[in-house]
């Protein structure tokens, strides 16, 4: 197995473990999923800061922008994969903003 494939598998395993923890927090502890999502984002920001600046540093505004851009690209990639997954299931996916606008207008 190539090093790149090993990294992909390690990434997927870590991602799955975080999701399992979040699901346990929601299902077993009854925590609100919005709060869990916010906590995961906060933890990600704390860890990204540690990764870039260590325990004795912090990110300058340019560093914050770089981390935010990486997060934005990753989120866009995840949404594209989710859309493809839904389409493969024969569904017609709609972006949340579009679904909300239709709900506000009484459409479905």
> 32: exposed, middle or buried (C-beta count within 10 Å: 0-12, 13-18, 19+)?
exposed
Residues 106, 19: Cα–Cα separation, whole Å: 34
Instruction: Average the pLDDT over 1-30 and give the result.
Output: 97
Q: What is the pTM of this model?
A: 0.76
Domain-wise residue ranges, the chain: 1-58, 60-108
pLDDT-based confidence at 61, cuts 50/70/90? very high
């Amino acid at each position: 197995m190539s090093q790149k494939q090993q990294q992909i598998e390690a990434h997927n395993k870590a991602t799955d473990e975080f999701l399992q923890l979040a699901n346990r927090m929601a299902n077993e502890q009854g925590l609100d999923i919005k709060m869990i999502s916010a906590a995961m984002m906060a933890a990600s920001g704390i860890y990204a800061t540690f990764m870039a600046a260590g325990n004795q540093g912090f990110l300058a505004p340019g560093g914050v922008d770089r981390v935010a851009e990486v997060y934005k690209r990753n989120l866009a990639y995840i949404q594209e994969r989710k859309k493809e997954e839904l389409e493969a299931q024969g569904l017609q996916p709609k972006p949340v903003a579009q679904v909300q606008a239709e709900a506000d207008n009484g459409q479905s």
